[in-house]
């Protein structure tokens, strides 16, 4: 019962382009939406996170857009670089629940 659905499964983008990854959730109690980045052979690491009281959060080239009414959030990677090639996971949680639900992941390849 995957509560967070992520798309696409994979993405190829040219250097300098924009990568967009989308996630949708069902549980309206979720109040924390992080994105994790994972390089081959490593554990995931937090990239950026948002709470539902804001519609957008930007950190450098990475932006989360959040649409509470549609129960969707997305990650935009601007000016994509080869070093951004990794697997990206969205996730959702709420504090009193204790669980952290991850999407299935998106493999991003940035070509030179």
Structure tokens at 11: 């993405």
* Nearest distance in Å: CB 50, other proteins: 11
| Candidate segments 52-60, 61-69, 74-82, 91-99, binder of other proteins by CB under 8 A | 91-99
Rounded distance, CA 45 to CA 16, Å? 23
CB nearer other proteins, residue 98 or residue 112: 98
Window 27-86: residues binding other proteins (CB under 8 A)? 31-32, 34, 36, 41-46, 49
- Write out the residues near other proteins by the rule CB under 8 A: 1, 6, 9, 31-32, 34, 36, 41-46, 49, 89, 91, 93-95, 97-105
């Amino acid at each position: 019962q995957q509560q967070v659905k992520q798309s696409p499964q994979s993405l190829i983008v040219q250097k300098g382009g924009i990568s967009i990854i989308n996630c949708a959730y069902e549980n309206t109690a979720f109040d924390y939406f992080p994105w994790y980045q994972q390089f081959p052979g490593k554990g995931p690491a937090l990239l950026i996170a948002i709470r539902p009281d804001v519609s957008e959060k930007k950190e450098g080239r990475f932006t989360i857009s959040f649409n509470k009414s549609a129960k969707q959030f997305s990650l935009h990677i601007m000016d994509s670089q080869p070093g951004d090639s990794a697997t990206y996971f969205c996730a959702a949680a709420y504090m009193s629940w204790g669980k952290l639900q991850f999407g299935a992941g998106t493999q991003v390849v940035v070509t030179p």
